[in-house]
Amino acid sequence: EVGFIWVEVDVPGMAEGELAKTAQKRKGAAGGAIDFAFKHAMEVPAGSANRQRLKEGMDSTDEEEADVYFTLKTKSASGAESDVAQGHVNLKEMLAKKKDATSETVRLNGAEGFEGDAGTLVVTVAALDALAAVATDPAPAPAPAPAPAVAALAAAAPPPAATAPVRVEVGALKLSA
């Protein structure tokens, strides 16, 4: 018997173990909706580890590396946690269409041990500005140590222009019967 449910969000660029999580909600009846009303922003400033990982995901030949994953999790009355279902939005597809995923309905397919369709989740992934900025980043190359005068000039340079964050919102979950 499932007591509580929540959604974990894994965005390309997030550090391992730094998943965004909605609040836990008590599971309702099949067909009913649960609104998580969750918002998360992942900053991707120039030179940051988040930005480098996002670029690696976007440059990968493995399409799944550019997926934003939404994993429906449960906690039983006994306290055991498990994955129930998962859906995704692909950042490469968004960039190709030049369109953020706004209030998109994502189908959640059963995880191991949970067969079939678990339901749908309304999500927003706003990342076009960040993806456009990352796409223009040069490939990292090992740089030689700068001369002291060059290092002083670099330290005095203004910080790079801010890049819009990758924003993720999780809205209504509608469970299948």
Say what the pLDDT of residue 37 is.
Answer: 95
Higher pLDDT, 15 or 109: 109
Q: Which amino acid is at 96?
A: A
Say what the pLDDT of residue 158 is.
Answer: 46
DSSP codes, 87-107: EEEEHHHHHHHT--EEEEEEE
DSSP codes, 36-52: EEEEEEE---TT-HHHH
pLDDT tens by residue, 60-71: 999 999 999 999
For the beta carbon of residue 153, count every other beta carbon within 10 angstroms.
Answer: 11
CA separation for the pair 76, 24 (Å, rounded): 12
- Of the ranges 63-72, 103-112, 133-142, which one carries the lowest mean pLDDT score? 133-142
* Token duo for residue 60: 């990968």
For the beta carbon of residue 36, count every other beta carbon within 10 angstroms.
Answer: 21
Provide the greatest CA pair distance for the chain.
68
Q: What percent of the chain has pLDDT over 90?
A: 50
* Token duo for residue 39: 């918002």
Match 């990968």 to its residue by tokens.
60
Please return the burial class of 154, using the count of CB atoms within 10 Å of its CB with bins 0-12, 13-18 and 19+: exposed
